[in-house]
Amino acid sequence: MLACAAALAAGLPAAASAAEPRAGDGTWSIGLYGGKLIKDNLLDIVPHAFEGKITGQNTVIEGVLVRRSLQDFGWMKSWSDWGGIPVFNGLEFGAFHHHGGLDTDELIAAWRVGATGASFGGLNIDLAGSFGVSHAFGGEPYDNPDHHKSSDNYATLFYMAPEVVLHHDALPGWQLGFRIHHRSGIYGLVAPSKVGSNHVGMYLMRDF
């Protein structure tokens, strides 16, 4: 589903200017996220999705996302004015539980940035990403494939969540998102290169 939404967004570039800009007015949003652990590397997920080769594992992630929008600043506002593409940014927090083959909890804190890539018949398609920190609790996090002793379990890792979000003018304040939930050692910068994980899932969110 993530790949299909991305393809749709890429196919409608001419309609991007029709979307209404979002006001960074401190709006709060809350939503529920659910997904599945997969074996694929981050850069392989979208190509494998198109090919129908995504490999799932016996672990599910479920949790809550909370966001607060922020005013656009500096280069973001200039880019929006120059390109005519509505941009937005904000803070994102999340609490998740992993169960199935694994049993661990996770907290994330991140900065989220994105743009409305296309609008068609009242349907708006956003492309966005969240970047921050993730910390896992309980046992040895599955992100370490070698399952070292607990002192080497790399509970705190880099967090990134690229996503495609759909929202319609007829349902103001509601968003349906398809995202990759990614924990990473950033190619050896904060943990060995093999440490990390990817979940593919979706969320439903409401502004307040």
Q: What is the pLDDT of residues 52-69, one digit of tens each?
A: 888 888 889 999 999 999
CA distance 183 to 154: 11
CB 76 within 8 A of CB 69: no
Does residue 97 sit in helix, strand or coil? strand
Architecture of the structural domain at 2-207: Beta Barrel (2.40)
Domain boundaries, the chain: 2-207
Q: pLDDT value at position 201?
A: 95
AA identity, residue 139: G
Q: Is the pLDDT of residue 48 over 90?
A: no
Q: What is the pLDDT of residues 79-122, one digit of tens each?
A: 666 667 788 999 999 999 998 877 789 999 999 999 988 889 99
- The mean pLDDT value for 174-186 works out to 93
Q: What is the pLDDT of residues 124-169, one digit of tens each?
A: 999 999 999 999 887 655 565 555 555 566 788 999 999 999 999 9
pTM: 0.80
Residues in CB range of 183: below 8 A, 6 or more apart:
134, 136, 143, 157, 158, 159, 196, 197, 198
